[in-house]
Amino acid sequence: MFKKIGVLLVTVLGAALLVYSATRSLDFIELTLPEDRKILAYFGLAALDGGIIAWLLSYLYGSRGGWQRAISILMVCVDVAGAIAMFTLDTLYNTGKAGMTKAMTPEELTNAVLGLSAIIALNIIATIAHHLTDPDKLREQAEEEAFGKVEEATLKQISTNADTLAAQLAPTLAADWMNQTKARYLAFVGTGKIPTIDATAQDVTPNSVYMPVLASEPKAKPFNLSAIWAGLVNDWRVNNRNFQSVIPGVPTVKKSEDEPTGNPTSAPKSE
């Protein structure tokens, strides 16, 4: 019970002091801004008292890994020092204006403004570094680097294998090309023509109209009456011709006057 009350009292004390510090820091930041931009002082306050709360919660609940925890606790210290410096400078500035203390010189004010700018810059850098050192992001980057090394080694091995494969296939492909080229040239032997690898390019007019090529029709023969008459006569002769026997006849031998009559083979009987 008393332990919880003690923790609560410490929290309330810290919150009250932060409110006081924030108001003093806000007053000093407004001194560096024109009248129409006083609202920007609240954003600058995030690097001081606001930063203390943000980095403290990040260290307790949001940081993972050594890098993030180191950044968070370091920025808690930086923002505490900045908040103390700002409300101290604002107090000295106002009491100097009231004549209670020595007024601040322009050089001191310049140094105070530079210190405020440095604290704001450190908060920006720390925020970026806190995200870059996220363990999940670091693991992803390590995996990407490993994959990159594997891909580079694969490409090198492919290049090496390509040289070996080229040395093996080059003789076969060259011999095949030689045989094809030889056959192409031998096909034109005796024709007086030279074989070509590619067709010859021709210039074509862009706006030319392509018309279909029609085959020429044969010319009609003139009317010839004599040819018609000769055809009619030839048909009539064919239809009215006398067919003769195609069996060859027995040839007859003509007897001469000196040849004796009777059987030429019979001889006279002897008495």
Rounded to whole angstroms, the Cα distance separating 137 from 134 reads: 5
Specify if 138 maps to a domain: no
In a domain, 171, yes or no: yes
Note whether 88 and 180 are same-domain residues: no
Distances (CA, A) of 238 to 115, 229, 231, 241, 243: 135, 14, 11, 6, 10
Does 9 share its domain with 129?
yes
Residue 49 within a domain: yes
Identify whether residues 16 and 94 lie together within a single domain: yes
The pLDDT score that the predictor gives to residue 28 is 86
Residues 39, 150 within the same domain: no
pLDDT, residue 221, reads 58
Residue 44, H or E segment = helix 41-45
Is residue 197 domain-resident?
A: no
107 with 183, same domain?
Answer: no
152 within some domain: yes
Same domain, 36 and 69: yes
Choosing from 133, 156, 175, the residue where a domain stops is 133
List, for residues 74-124, the tens digit of each pLDDT value. 999 999 999 999 989 888 888 888 888 888 888 888 898 898 899 999 999
93 in a domain, yes or no? yes
Q: Which of 113, 44, 123 is nearest to 79 (CA)?
A: 123
Number of domains in the chain: 2
**Domain boundary residue, one of 112, 133, 154:** 133
Q: Cα–Cα distance between 31 and 29 in angstroms, integer?
A: 5
Same domain, 19 and 87: yes
Which pair of tokens denotes residue 127?
Answer: 């925020």
pLDDT in tens, the chain (271 residues): 778 888 888 889 888 988 988 888 888 888 888 888 888 888 888 888 889 999 999 999 988 888 999 999 999 999 999 999 998 988 888 888 888 888 888 888 889 889 889 999 999 999 999 999 999 989 999 999 999 999 999 999 998 899 888 888 899 999 999 998 888 888 877 776 766 665 343 444 444 444 444 455 555 555 565 666 676 667 666 665 544 444 444 455 554 444 444 444 444 444 3
Whether 241 is covered by a domain: the verdict is no
**Same domain, residue pair 103 and 162:** no
Regarding whether 166 and 114 lie in a shared domain, the answer is no
Domain hosting residue 17, numbered range? 2-133
> Are residues 109 and 187 located together in one domain of the fold?
no
If you count them, how many residues does the chain have? 271
**Residue 75: inside a domain, yes or no?**
yes
Among 84, 104, 133, identify where a domain stops: 133
Q: Does 23 share its domain with 80?
A: yes
- The DSSP letter of residue 37 is G
On whether both 6 and 123 belong to a single domain, the answer is yes
